[in-house]
Chain A
Amino acid sequence: MKTTITVNGQARTLDVDSRTTLLDALREHLGLIGSKKGCDHGQCGACTVLVNGARINSCLSLLVMHDGDQVTTIEGLGTAENLHPVQQAFLENDAFQCGYCTPGQICSAVGMLQEAADGWPSQVMEDVAALVDLTEAEIRERMSGNICRCSAYPQIVAAIRSVAGDAA
């Protein structure tokens, strides 16, 4: 079944098995290995990508559901020579060890920062109508869908805070 998605700014038409997840389409058919398969069940967050600007677990989504969508993967955020600010902050804060959850953490953080800027409330806000103040507690709550078994959590929160602080 033919599906056209725009990945990192480039239109791509794929004609693959309708059972193919967005994650496997990216990894196996487009060679974008940065999005990781940690559980294939939406439990770990390693496959997080941005679809039309919003973060999703790409393993829980079939490619055919995304005809016409704009997909941004870790490869679309920055390059080794020209890192995205969140990537740079992860590097400087040592916000990873094995690196397998890292692209998902970074894509999730980019999506989360936008959600916060757009005023999306969270479980830990006392006043859900208030402007979002990205405290450590807010970041932890909003990033809890991304597991890091190496447990670089303190550094991940520090990295995201540094970017959120710069943006504020």
Chain B
Amino acid sequence: MINIENLSYSYPDGTLALDSISLNILKGEFVTIAGKNGCGKSTLLRHINGLLQPGQGSVVVKGMDTCDLSNLQDIRRTAGMIFQDPQSQFIGMTVEEDIAFGPENLGLSSSEINRRVTEALESVGMSGHRHNTPRTLSGGQKQKVALASVLAMEPEIILFDEVTSMLDFSSRSDILDLIKQLHKTGTTIIYVTHLLEELVHADRLVLMEKGRVVQNGCPREIISKISSEDFGFDFPPIIELSKKLLDARIIDETSFPLSKDELLEAICPSK
């Protein structure tokens, strides 16, 4: 679905943001990209969405090279992107208009735009806010509207750029539940985060450091091996406890618990 070959990119001031990254992402996969601030996670996502063009190497999304500018519309239609700050991505004065912005850019008919807006609002549970001003919504609701505005374009891939970092625990759970539902329906998910407790549902974890991919594989195995000091993460208590259990050889790497339920299952297996 996405093939990234030897991708390097430097910002205009000369800072190297991505350094020889190669990555393949399959259709329907849930890939989490994690790493410290400034490690290049968001820059990588912007390359997949075609907002940035590679300085070196290539990014091919569903057979379309992002270097070919004539592909950009189709690439952005295929890979929708949701940004960290929901406020900064609103364009419409009402929720309905904001969601309609993408389908309008695709030149769809009025009835098709209305259908997509209605369905997108229903899928994120925001139908009751159709005529509200986005600015008056809570952080979690704003992020749901941002998700609906991407869903209305019916993308096959959705790129999430630290979408929960500005949300409280309850709103974060709501957004993660929606993302899990989308993944179940076959949407390819690429999820950037620095919160390790959000990795539990990913099929694959890509760890980045200083613009390079340093780990790429099963989240369970990677987290069981790395130390918090290596990547500047603060491990959640569940993972800290799991690591102690692993050190004490009570559990092994293949069953390394990443969530409360998995930890309970590891300690007291249900029959």
Instruction: Answer whether A and B are interacting partners.
Output: no
- A interface residues (Cβ-Cβ under 8 A, vs B): none
Chain B residues packing against A (C-beta within 8 Å): none
